[in-house]
Amino acid sequence: MKSKHEHGSKGGVPGQPSPSPSPSSPLLQAEMEAFFVAAELAERRRFAEAYNYDVALDRPLEGRFEWAPVST
């Protein structure tokens, strides 16, 4: 016999928000991936505009800075 606090269905308490999807949910993973891809592209664009350097291709771009290789 179930106690009065146990629910037989997956539905929550009426009037309460439903629980958020688990971190392993494919939808949540896709949303997170899309968010971070967009954020990374925006950061690359911002950096390229500020420093005229393409970090994805690891090469200088035309602009106000003159890039020169350094030996390490």
Residue 29 is encoded by which pair of tokens? Answer: 């993973």
Residue 33 is encoded by which pair of tokens? Answer: 């991936």
In angstroms, rounded to a whole number, what is the distance separating the alpha carbons of residues 72 and 70? 6
Q: State pTM to two decimals.
A: 0.57
> What are the structural domain ranges in the chain?
26-60
In angstroms, rounded to a whole number, what is the distance separating the alpha carbons of residues 11 and 50? 51
Per-residue model confidence as pLDDT tens digits over 6-63: 454 455 567 777 666 666 788 899 999 999 999 999 999 999 999 999 999 999 999 9
Phi, then psi, of 28 in degrees rounded to 5 = -65, -40
Among the listed residues 69, 39, 66, the one whose alpha carbon sits nearest the alpha carbon of residue 52 = 66
